Chains A and B, each alone.
Chain A
Amino acid sequence: NAGVTQTPKFRILKIGQSMTLQCTQDMNHNYMYWYRQDPGMGLKLIYYSVGAGITDKGEVPNGYNVSRSTTEDFPLRLELAAPSQTSVYFCASKGASTEAFFGQGTRLTVV
């Protein structure tokens, strides 16, 4: 069982560059989420999706974009990377009556 798979695991970006963090789940979950984790700050919700074709902003959406063209995939796009986006990013998925399952995370450094 793969669960929630995130790629890449690590990435260094230069200021102004763009990249896409990939997330895929094989549990047929409708709900998917992107969180960022900063030291001492817990997990902050960036974007979430309740199903294919539907996305909505979380607490900290500025500087990010998402799409949900399929149930399985929920990529997170950074268009113009900034040092403030240095963080660990977690993707998660959840069924209607299940717990949330998290991926292993992507550690992003913007220099």
Chain B
Amino acid sequence: QQQVKQSPQSLIVQKGGISIINCAYENTAFDYFPWYQQFPGKGPALLIAIRPDVSEKKEGRFTISFNKSAKQFSLHIMDSQPGDSATYFCAASRRGNEKLTFGTGTRLTIIP
């Protein structure tokens, strides 16, 4: 049973465009939703995270939008740059159970 579903599997965006990656979760007890960025040959690194008490969080060009009633959250990358080309993972966990459940990942490619 996959508790966090991520789409699309791969995404190609032109430089300067908006990249959007979506995730949906099943477990309503989840209360922490991070996004991880992974470059080839490296481990994932935290990019941005949100808790369900807010509907949006922005850090620079990266924004998480969160819809609690739909059990969905998404990552928006504004003004996408070639350096953003990486694999992105959404994840979820709940307080008191510190295990992260990951989505299947999205390979993002930004083309000039």
Q: Specify which chain B residues have a CB less than 8 angstroms from the CB of A48 in the assembled complex.
A: 98-99
Q: Which residues of B84-99 have CB atoms within 8 Å of chain A's CB atoms? A: 89, 98-99
The count of residues in chain A whose C-beta lies closer than 8 Å to any C-beta of chain B is: 22
Q: What B residues does A42 contact at CB under 8 A?
A: 6, 89, 102-105
Q: Interface residue tally of chain B, by bracket?
A: 10 to 19
A31 x B44 contact (CB < 8 A):
no
Interface string of B24-44 (1 = CB under 8 A from A): 000000000010000001111
A50 close to B89 (CB less than 8 A) = no
The answer to whether B44 and A43 touch across the interface, beta carbons within 8 angstroms, is: yes
What 1/0 flags go to A33-50 for Cβ under 8 Å of B? 101000011111100101
Hey, which bits of chain B sit against chain A, CB under 8 A? 6, 9, 34, 41-46, 49, 89, 98-105
Q: Which residues of A contact B (CB under 8 A)?
A: 4, 31, 33, 35, 40-45, 48, 50, 58, 90, 92, 94, 99-100, 102-105
